[in-house]
């Protein structure tokens, strides 16, 4: 029986929750990949300084990584073998996560080595992924977060699918491997939840799945995989000149606006919870509630 | 014809798409949006209604074999090629994103999704959209055309405009045009229909509990207080994900976008992902211990105190005022 | 003879009013534990005796009333305020206990900017007090990670310590005076004076009692000028923990008092610093604060000491200040943690001990080696030193494990207790202290006799004298 070969793409992003309110301004450039000098935008005005906060797995990508592990476990009960690969585009910071995935049982892990700032370059990202899939020719099912990173545009899964000529479903919440060439997918569409059986190959963009967190390998798991190789690929190996592609990106982030969410924020005073609640009620809620 | 709004009439959300596009064309595109609407329909559609709902006077009807969003992209690509159509505007959401993205790819144009507004220039399209998890708005410049724009789902809140006198400019039958992606690869389709937003979207009086409620007990006490004061009850993502409340109560980016007249938030820090779900509220009262939480600046009234205690007091006061 | 639940509830209602006595089953279950059994809680499994009621006290008189009632009828009372306890201090070890909750006693009674002291009730969250005194340009100097959640009563009762302790000290250095209620209902007040020599310092009977001797109703703490604009953040990578401890020691011994002096080992550090620290290195962190001249001199002194150790390499200080700004745990992080545990079965635990400079590295190395060798399913084991003194420092062991092949109710016995045992054994072997700041709770009582040695006599005497009927938090500090 042929194995289903799953490749999960993931992005390592700054943990925005670790940024303070005051940090949300257009900064000195940065992005996930350091200096951001190679950015597709127009520099300082179009990036928030995120260099100083920790990196985490983008949340939907993290879902996809765990879903793939569970798909293998569920499929293993039957007759279908599943092989897992993971790929990320980025600098050295990515390797820590690739090592973790190896310890969790991902057989192939790959870093596309670039320090180019691809934060707002979905087209370049998609073509790197597509070229990798084409060149290696060993992927049946490509999974990734349905949207990710600071750009959060939701276009990458469809762009990859276009490049490969594969079907694509996004906002995927559940996947089950049925056979070596079919998966059953639940995904959210505009008017409900659509369940569909898809003949592979295909691209799945993982959305708000119940499975949201990646399991954690033990020290023993890590030790067992200590010497396992991480594949490193350059843009050039895939026939891509990343800098040139970046310069061609047709949709460019020019600058950033701080969002003003200001409302009056009038502090309601009082000695006790009771008194404060009463003041709030008397001064504004009473009349509003009467009208409801 | 230089620009088109696209309504996919083959799916159940056509009315919503049309309303959102109408709002966007009036308020989000400084009047330079689409001049005409392209309505895709299938045999079984009520074409009359689709035309009536269209967001522009001029309507072009295209009959398709329907199916997946991908099927319509080929038709639109042909329009771009043959008629020099330069701007396509899709309603937000799942199919809008897919159509805009695939169309841009096939035509060599540029895509932007979740547009808050656009400005059409002679050789550039400027578009504002949220970036950095709704912490910021980015201004994007699109060079290569056609510009394929899907609009932000918040345009779904738009009011229905005054009725237009529609003119059907053309009607074509494209049922023969094959989709690029092989439809036979999808089997056993099974749609469980739902309004994705549930009842919270209709709420007029809403109480939202955040992680500041502290525990399952705290969250349940807030829920009970909400019931007592006759309000609907929602929660932030952390509360739902720690299984302190059902996921269908979720307010914010990954849940429901609400627009109540009155919204009381309890122990909600005010992170953008949550705030987006209540920003349309007429009045926001926040109860929180932390005066430095962002919510203190983005609420109309703020009580600095234990959220659970205050909401329980408030519930008593409101309940007794009703007696 | 103990009363039946219904009678207990009735008695409490009589003292507090019906509204203030909680008997909801779910709430009672969640009130039978603290974070020590968080894994059980997350899975909805409760193994401890369920309390008869949660009593919400609003005044010292009510506290006295409840204690008198309990004392008369032999009912076990568990004091509680902020509920962030990590060591089982809030577990109701005896059936039909009463949880006496002081979170409603949340008034700040005085902020005296001239005499530099503030007085508040036990249920005031530290964050609230800190925010209020900052309006006067002052600070409490107390900054435990749980600052947004923990209350002044609990913080006093556990002998808590904050992240700025190297300058401001632990809570015991901050408390000026207090009010506490003893089991027979006696209300005692210790007045606020700069210092006195009128016999033993009886504040220390109350501070750190973990609800086993008395109920703390009010505290007065010192205030300090708040001068964040002078803060200088310093960070270094260092090749080995041994050198790191050496640098910490030299900073302390040479008379410098940074507010923060921390040393992270590579495993623990990776959780915070992987975005700027290469794998395998330890990290040293200092914050110099105070009046500008002192902050500057402190930073310069530290830099000079570090310069003597070529293996230390400085990192950009903004990494440190950014990290520091996001260190505290509010409700969002608690919720996020629950989600993680629920989904992955991976849980984070900590055990904090102390030792002098001569042994701390041995405690660190041996305990860690044994944890990794002896305990299954460990996903991370490491630690940091975060509170230094002239004669030694603490070690905060930080470890994660996957809970597998056992029920939620076995998590503590299968993993947490064996790890605590290793750490306590190694600490005792080298002459350190088995608890640095979380309190003994119930989790570490098996080693309390060895910890105290001959001085256990004094501890037992205190218990006999102030809680002769043994109704205060049975099983905490003194083994049941
Ligand atoms: C995320 C996190 C970070 C933490 N960081 C730190 C830290 O940096 N430093 C530190 O020292 N601790 C820390 N802790 C531990 C904890 O916050 C402290 O022990 C704190 O002092 C407990 O205060 P509380 O109000 O939450 O007390 P509770 O949890 O309510 O009670 C703690 C103990 O004190 C007793 N008690 C409570 N109130 C009274 C009272 N009024 N009278 C008598 N006894 C009482 C209880 O019976 C119990 O034994 C942390 C905990 C968490 C969860």
Task: Render pLDDT for C436-453 as a digit per residue (tens, 0 to 9).
Answer: 999 999 999 999 999 999
Q: Given B12, B130, B314, which is nearest A277 (Cβ)?
A: B314
- What pLDDT score was predicted for residue C310? 96
> What does residue C236 show for φ and ψ, rounded to 5 degrees?
-140, 150
**DSSP alpha helices (H): ranges in A19-153?**
59-76, 95-103, 122-136
Note whether residue A254 is domain-resident. Answer: no
Distance from the first to the final alpha carbon of chain B? 62
A176 and A73 housed in the same domain: yes
- What pLDDT score was predicted for residue B198? 59
Residue C238 has pLDDT above 60, yes or no: yes
pLDDT tens sequence across A121-164: 999 999 999 999 999 999 999 999 999 889 999 999 999 999 99
DSSP for B155-182? GGGPPPPPPP--EEEEEEE-TTPPPSS-
For ligand 1, what atom is nearest to the CA of residue C144? 8
Q: CB count, 10 Å around CB of A28?
A: 12
Q: Are C232 and C291 in contact (CB under 8 A)?
A: no
In chain C, CATH 3.30.43.10 sits at 3-103
Q: Given B216, B243, B289, which is nearest C342 (Cβ)?
A: B243
CB contact under 8 A, B109 and A250: yes
Note whether residue A258 is domain-resident. Answer: no
Tell me which chain C residues have a C-beta less than 8 angstroms from the C-beta of B209. Answer: none
List the beta strands (DSSP E) in chain A. 4-10, 12-14, 55-57, 82-90, 108-113, 141-145, 168-179, 182-189, 192-199, 202-206, 231-234, 251-258, 266-267
Q: B187 CA to chain A: closest CA distance, Å? A: 5
What's the domain count of chain A? 2
Specify the fold of C108-225.
Answer: 3.30.465
> What does residue B320 show for φ and ψ, rounded to 5 degrees?
-75, -25
Residue C248 has pLDDT above 50, yes or no: yes
Answer whether C207 contacts ligand 1 (Cβ < 6 A).
Answer: no
Residue C66 has pLDDT above 50, yes or no: yes
Mean pLDDT over each residue of chain C, to the nearest integer: 96
- What pLDDT score was predicted for residue B237? 85
| CA-closest candidate to residue B211, choices B277, B283, B298, B274 | B274
Assigned superfamily of B198-322: TPP-binding domain (3.40.50.1220)
CB contact under 8 A, A191 and B301: no
- What pLDDT score was predicted for residue C419? 98
CA distance C447 to A87: 49
CB contact under 8 A, A16 and B133: yes
Note whether residue A62 is domain-resident. Answer: yes
Cα three-residue angle B84-B88-B93, rounded to 5 degrees? 160
Cβ under 8 Å to B: A residues 54-113: none
A186 and A284 housed in the same domain: no
Predicted confidence band of residue C467 (pLDDT cuts 50, 70, 90): very high
In chain C, CATH 3.30.300.330 sits at 331-464
Give chain A's residues under pLDDT 50. Answer: 29-42
3-state SS class at C222: strand
| CA-closest candidate to residue C283, choices C319, C259, C230, C337 | C319
Give chain B's residues under pLDDT 50. Answer: 196
User: Considering the domain C228-325, what is its CATH architecture?
Assistant: 2-Layer Sandwich (3.30)
| CA-closest candidate to residue C154, choices C212, C104, C54, C80 | C80
A222 and A102 housed in the same domain: yes
Closest alpha carbon within chain B to A199: B185
Mean pLDDT score, C14-32? 93
Q: What is the ipTM of this complex?
A: 0.91
C379 touches chain A (CB under 8 A): yes
CB contact under 8 A, C346 and A17: no
Mean pLDDT score, C401-426? 98
- Residue A116 is classified by DSSP as S
CA distance A287 to C227: 45
Residue C51 has pLDDT above 90, yes or no: yes
A34 and A126 housed in the same domain: yes
A78 and A34 housed in the same domain: yes
A173 and A292 housed in the same domain: no
Note whether residue A141 is domain-resident. Answer: yes
Q: C128 CA to chain A: closest CA distance, Å? A: 14
Q: Domain containing A278: what range? A: 263-292
What CATH number was assigned to the domain covering residues C331-464? 3.30.300.330
What CATH number was assigned to the domain covering residues B2-185? 3.40.50.620
Cβ under 8 Å to B: A residues 114-153: 120, 150-153
Strand B186-193 vs strand C117-121: parallel, antiparallel, or unpaired?
unpaired
pLDDT tens sequence across A13-39: 999 988 888 889 987 544 444 433 334
A192 and A271 housed in the same domain: no
- What pLDDT score was predicted for residue A39? 41
Note whether residue A229 is domain-resident. Answer: yes
Q: Where are the domains of chain B?
A: 2-185, 198-322
Mean pLDDT score, C318-346? 89
Tell me which chain C residues have a C-beta less than 8 angstroms from the C-beta of B306. Answer: 103, 106
What is chain B's Cα-based Rg?
22
The CATH number assigned to the domain holding A11 equals 3.40.50.620
Of B234-238, C378-382, C407-411, C444-448, the one with minimum mean pLDDT is B234-238
Give me the helix-helix angle, B307-322 and B216-228, nearest 10°: 20
Chain C adjacent subunits, 3+ CB pairs under 8 A: A, B
User: What are A218's strand-pairing partners?
Assistant: none
CB contact under 8 A, A166 and B181: yes
Specify the fold of C3-103.
Answer: 3.30.43
Q: Given C26, C106, C342, which is nearest B217 (Cβ)?
A: C26
């Amino acid at each position: 029986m042929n194995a289903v070969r799953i490749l999960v793409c993931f992005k390592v992003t700054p943990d925005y929750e670790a940024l303070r309110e005051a940090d949300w301004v257009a900064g000195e450039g940065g992005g996930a990949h350091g200096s951001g000098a190679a950015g597709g935008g127009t520099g300082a005005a179009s990036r928030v300084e995120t260099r100083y906060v920790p990196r985490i797995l983008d949340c939907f990508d993290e879902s996809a990584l765990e879903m793939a592990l569970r798909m293998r476990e569920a499929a293993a009960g039957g007759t279908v073998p599943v092989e897992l690969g993971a790929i990320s585009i980025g600098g050295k910071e990515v390797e820590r996560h690739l090592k973790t995935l190896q310890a969790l049982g991902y057989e192939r892990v790959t870093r596309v080595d670039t320090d180019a700032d691809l934060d707002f370059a979905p087209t370049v990202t998609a073509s790197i992924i597509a070229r990798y899939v084409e060149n290696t020719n060993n992927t049946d099912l490509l999974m990734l977060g349905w949207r990710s990173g600071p750009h959060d545009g939701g276009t990458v899964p469809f762009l990859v699918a276009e490049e490969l000529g594969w079907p694509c479903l996004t906002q995927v919440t559940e996947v089950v491997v049925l056979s070596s060439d079919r998966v059953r997918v639940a995904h959210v569409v505009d008017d409900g939840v659509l369940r569909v059986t898809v003949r592979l190959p295909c691209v799945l963009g993982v959305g708000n799945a119940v499975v949201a967190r990646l399991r954690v390998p033990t020290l023993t798991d890590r030790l067992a995989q200590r010497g396992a190789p991480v594949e490193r690929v350059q843009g050039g190996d895939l026939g891509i000149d990343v800098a040139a592609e970046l310069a061609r990106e047709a949709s460019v982030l020019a600058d950033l606006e701080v969002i003003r969410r200001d409302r009056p924020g009038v502090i309601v005073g009082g000695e006790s919870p009771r008194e404060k609640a009463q003041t709030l009620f008397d001064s504004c809620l009473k009349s509003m509630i009467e009208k409801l | 014809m230089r620009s088109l709004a696209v309504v996919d009439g083959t799916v159940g959300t056509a009315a919503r798409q049309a309303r959102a596009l109408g709002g966007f064309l009036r308020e989000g595109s400084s009047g330079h949006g689409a001049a005409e609407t392209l309505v895709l329909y299938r045999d079984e559609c009520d074409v009359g209604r689709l035309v009536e709902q269209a967001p522009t006077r001029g309507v072009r009807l295209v009959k398709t074999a329907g199916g997946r969003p991908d099927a319509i992209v080929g038709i639109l690509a042909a329009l771009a090629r043959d008629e020099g159509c330069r701007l396509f505007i899709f309603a937000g959401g799942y199919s809008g994103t897919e159509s805009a993205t695939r169309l841009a790819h096939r035509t060599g144009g540029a895509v932007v999704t979740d547009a808050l507004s656009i400005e059409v220039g002679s050789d550039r399209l400027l578009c504002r959209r949220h970036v950095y998890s709704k912490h910021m708005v980015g201004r994007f410049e699109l060079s290569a055309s056609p510009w394929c724009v899907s609009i932000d789902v918040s345009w779904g809140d738009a009011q229905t405009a005054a009725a237009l006198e529609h003119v059907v400019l053309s009607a074509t039958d494209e049922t023969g045009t094959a989709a690029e992606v092989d439809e036979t690869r999808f089997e056993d389709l099974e749609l469980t229909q739902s309004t994705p937003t549930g009842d919270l979207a209709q709420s007029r009086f809403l109480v939202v509990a955040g992680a500041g409620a502290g525990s399952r007990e705290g969250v349940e006490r807030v829920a009970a207080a909400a019931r007592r004061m006759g309000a609907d009850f929602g929660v932030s993502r952390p509360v739902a994900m720690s299984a302190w409340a059902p996921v269908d109560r979720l307010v914010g980016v990954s849940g429901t976008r609400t627009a109540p007249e009155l919204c009381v938030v309890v122990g909600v820090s005010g992170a953008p992902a949550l705030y987006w779900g209540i920003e349309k509220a007429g009045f926001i009262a926040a109860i929180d211990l932390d005066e430095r939480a962002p919510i203190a600046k983005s609420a109309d009234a703020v009580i600095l105190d234990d959220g659970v205690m205050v909401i329980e007091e408030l519930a008593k006061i409101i309940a007794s005022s009703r007696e | 003879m103990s009363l039946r639940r219904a009678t207990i509830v009735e008695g409490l209602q009589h003292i507090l009013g019906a509204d203030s006595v909680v008997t909801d089953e779910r709430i009672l279950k969640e009130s039978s534990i603290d974070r020590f059994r968080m894994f059980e809680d997350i899975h909805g499994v409760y193994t401890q005796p369920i309390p008869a009621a949660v009593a919400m006290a609003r005044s010292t008189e009510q506290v006295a009333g409840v204690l008198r009632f309990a004392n008369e009828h032999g009912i076990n009372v568990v004091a509680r305020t902020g509920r962030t306890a990590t060591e089982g201090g809030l577990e109701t070890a005896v059936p039909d206990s009463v949880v006496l909750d002081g979170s409603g006693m949340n008034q700040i009674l005085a902020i005296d900017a001239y005499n530099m002291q503030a007085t508040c009730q036990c249920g005031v969250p530290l964050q609230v007090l800190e925010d209020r005194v900052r309006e006067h340009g002052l600070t409490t100097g107390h900054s435990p990670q749980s600052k947004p959640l923990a209350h002044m009563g609990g913080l006093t009762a556990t002998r808590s310590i904050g992240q700025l302790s190297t300058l401001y000290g632990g809570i015991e250095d901050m408390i000026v005076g207090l009010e506490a209620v003893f089991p027979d209902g006696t209300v005692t007040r210790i007045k606020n004076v700069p210092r006195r020599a009128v016999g033993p310092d009886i504040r220390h009977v109350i501070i750190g009692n973990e609800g086993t001797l008395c109920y703390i109703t009010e505290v007065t703490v010192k205030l300090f000028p708040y001068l964040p604009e002078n803060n200088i953040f310093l960070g270094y990578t260092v090749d080995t923990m041994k050198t790191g401890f050496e640098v910490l020691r030299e900073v302390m011994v040479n008379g410098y008092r940074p507010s923060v002096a921390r040393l992270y080992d590579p495993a623990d550090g990776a959780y915070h610093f992987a975005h700027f620290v290469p794998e395998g290195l330890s990290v040293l962190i200092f914050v110099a604060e105070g009046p500008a001249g002192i902050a500057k001199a402190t930073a310069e002194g530290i830099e000079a000491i570090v310069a003597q150790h070529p293996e230390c390499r400085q990192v950009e200080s903004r990494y440190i200040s950014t990290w520091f700004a996001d260190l505290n745990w509010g409700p969002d992080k608690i919720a996020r943690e629950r989600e993680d545990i629920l989904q992955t079965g991976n849980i984070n635990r900590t055990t904090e001990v102390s030792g002098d400079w001569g042994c701390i590295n041995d405690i660190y190395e041996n305990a860690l080696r044994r944890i990794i060798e002896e305990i299954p399913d460990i996903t991370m084991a490491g630690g940091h030193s975060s509170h230094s003194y002239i004669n030694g420092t603490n070690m905060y062991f930080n470890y994660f494990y996957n809970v597998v092949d056992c029920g939620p109710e076995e998590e503590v016995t299968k993993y947490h207790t064996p790890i605590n045992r290793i750490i306590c054994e190694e600490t005792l072997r080298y002459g350190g202290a088995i608890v640095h700041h979380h309190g003994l709770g119930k989790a570490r009582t098996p080693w309390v006799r060895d910890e105290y040695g001959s001085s256990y006599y004094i501890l037992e005497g205190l218990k006999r004298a102030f809680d002769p009927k043994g109704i205060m938090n049975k099983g905490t500090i003194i083994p049941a």
